[in-house]
């Protein structure tokens, strides 16, 4: 595709013969699977974009007997609702993806950590899981999946906090290293992937990495499911090739008055209209876990920022100083500037603070608060002050 154009595809939700792809995967060795995933250039679809093949490779090299595959279905990023749709419509592909990952690294046990608010999906998922267990047994492959429910904390989507939560402890991120591939759930080597990443691995095994790579760009291969919301006439779930420009995206989904797009949810970046043309949606530009929120000129960017900061203020786990206190300071800081209690130049101090939070926080939550903060303050400074 031309790199900046919109190109819709239908691979994630396309119905396939589960037995066929599972049989194919079970016929491949772990190394062969990893080679294929590495060749595809697949990167994590949860937002951070770590190369999936590398993750699997690291974990496959660990000598432990017990290993785990975790499916991160704690979809909590504001404005992201694609994993719910995937689990609702093609859960069997998620199960197969986990089995493929399990085969790749030598794990026989998988756990789906399901967002607490998605509990309503559970009866249906359990039924489908029974079918999967039966099928994989018939094929002669060994892999078992179970569910764990989250309890509503955003931080439990962070991989190590998620492990703590499954282990029955308070969901707080761990120090890294050690990384999950070496020491994850219950201290065992663990691969943790997003729902959509796992489904992508099924697509790659079914169609081959060569054909997969034809989608997207060199650094952002494949397609991605986007959750489109905000000021658009057609909100919803769309599967699009990576690498389009934000301008093309806005042309397709905007209402003609789009002034900014928040790419990647609260933890992502706010891109103003003047940068639409030069912004690529992908790992070489602005990455996203899927959330695309459009704002038109009727929206106050102060309110948008305030909303995000309130969110972080509540959802920080609170263990590290930069995130726990930093979020409170950013929130109270913009409030006091807005009320005229602090000088507008205080915003400069807050930007410096958010820069420190980016590099000094313990986990990805605190490190990404500054993304939204800085991009909104830099581009909509007057809306924050006046």
Is residue 326 a contact residue for other proteins (CB under 8 A)?
yes
Q: Which of 341, 351, 227 shows the shortest CA–CA distance to 294? A: 227
Tokens of 125: 């998922």
What does the alpha-carbon distance between residue 50 and residue 141 come to, in Å, rounded to a whole number? 28
Q: Is 136 helix (H, G, I), strand (E, B) or coil?
A: helix
Is residue 344 a contact residue for other proteins (CB under 8 A)?
no
- Give 240 or 320: the residue with its C-beta nearer to other proteins: 320
Is residue 124 a contact residue for other proteins (CB under 8 A)?
no
What does the alpha-carbon distance between residue 232 and residue 235 come to, in Å, rounded to a whole number? 6
Residue with tokens 């080597």: 189
Of 131, 134, 321, 343, the one binding other proteins by CB under 8 A: 321
Is residue 367 a contact residue for other proteins (CB under 8 A)?
yes
Is residue 314 a contact residue for other proteins (CB under 8 A)?
yes
Contact region for other proteins (CB under 8 A) — 125-133, 229-237, 264-272, 360-368?
360-368
Residue 219, exposed/middle/buried by CB under 10 A (0-12, 13-18, 19+)? middle
Of 193, 316, 371, 375, the one binding other proteins by CB under 8 A: 316
Q: Residues 6 or more apart from 68 whose CB is under 8 A from it?
A: 107, 109, 110, 111, 184, 185, 186, 188, 189, 190, 191
Residue 312 CB, nearest approach to other proteins (Å): 7
What does the alpha-carbon distance between residue 46 and residue 27 come to, in Å, rounded to a whole number? 28
What does the alpha-carbon distance between residue 38 and residue 87 come to, in Å, rounded to a whole number? 25
Beta strand 258-263 with 68-73: parallel, antiparallel or unpaired?
unpaired
Of 100, 104, 362, 375, the one binding other proteins by CB under 8 A: 362
Is residue 319 a contact residue for other proteins (CB under 8 A)?
yes
A 10 A CB-CB count for 237 gives: 17
Is residue 336 a contact residue for other proteins (CB under 8 A)?
yes
- Give 185 or 323: the residue with its C-beta nearer to other proteins: 323
- Give 35 or 284: the residue with its C-beta nearer to other proteins: 284
Binding mask 135-174 for other proteins (x = CB under 8 A): ------------------x-x--------------x-x--
Q: Which of residues 284-313 bind other proteins (CB under 8 A)?
A: 312-313
Catalog residues that contact other proteins under the rule CB under 8 A.
Answer: 153, 155, 170, 172, 175, 177, 312-322, 324-329, 332-333, 336, 342, 349, 352-353, 355-362, 367
């Amino acid at each position: 595709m031309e790199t900046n154009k919109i190109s819709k595809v239908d691979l994630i939700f396309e119905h396939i013969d589960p037995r066929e792809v599972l049989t194919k995967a079970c016929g491949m060795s772990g190394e062969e699977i990893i080679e294929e995933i590495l060749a595809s250039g697949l990167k994590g679809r949860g937002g951070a974009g770590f190369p999936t093949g590398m993750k699997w490779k690291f974990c496959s090299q660990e000598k432990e007997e017990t290993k785990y595959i975790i499916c991160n279905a704690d979809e909590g990023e504001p404005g992201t609702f694609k994993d719910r749709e995937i689990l609702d419509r093609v859960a069997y592909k998620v199960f197969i993806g986990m089995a493929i990952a399990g085969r790749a690294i030598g794990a026989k046990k998988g756990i789906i950590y399901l967002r607490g608010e998605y509990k309503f999906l559970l009866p249906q998922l359990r039924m489908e899981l029974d079918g999967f267990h039966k099928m994989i047994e018939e094929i002669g492959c060994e892999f078992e999946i179970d569910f764990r429910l989250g309890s509503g904390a955003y931080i439990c989507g962070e991989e190590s906090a998620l492990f703590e939560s499954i282990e029955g402890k308070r969901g707080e991120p761990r120090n890294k290293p050690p990384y999950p591939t070496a020491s994850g759930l219950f201290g065992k080597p663990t691969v943790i992937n997003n729902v959509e990443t796992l489904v992508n691995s099924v697509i790659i095994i079914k169609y081959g990495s060569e054909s997969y790579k034809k989608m997207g760009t060199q650094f952002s291969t494949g397609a991605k499911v986007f959750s489109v919301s905000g000021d658009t006439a057609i909100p919803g779930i769309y599967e699009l090739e990576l690498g389009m420009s934000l301008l093309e995206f806005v042309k397709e989904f905007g209402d003609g008055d789009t002034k900014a797009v928040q790419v990647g949810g609260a933890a992502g970046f706010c891109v103003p209209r003047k940068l639409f043309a030069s912004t690529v949606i992908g790992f070489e530009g602005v990455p996203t876990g899927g959330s695309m929120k459009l704002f038109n000129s009727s929206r106050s960017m102060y309110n948008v920022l305030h909303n995000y900061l309130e969110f972080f203020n509540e959802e920080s786990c609170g263990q590290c100083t930069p995130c726990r206190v930093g979020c409170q300071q950013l929130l109270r800081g913009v409030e006091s500037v807005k009320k005229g209690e602090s000088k507008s130049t205080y915003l400069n101090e807050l930007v410096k603070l958010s820069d420190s939070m980016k590099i000094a926080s313990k986990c990805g939550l605190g490190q990404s608060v500054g993304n939204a903060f800085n991009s909104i303050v830099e581009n909509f400074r007057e809306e924050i002050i006046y």
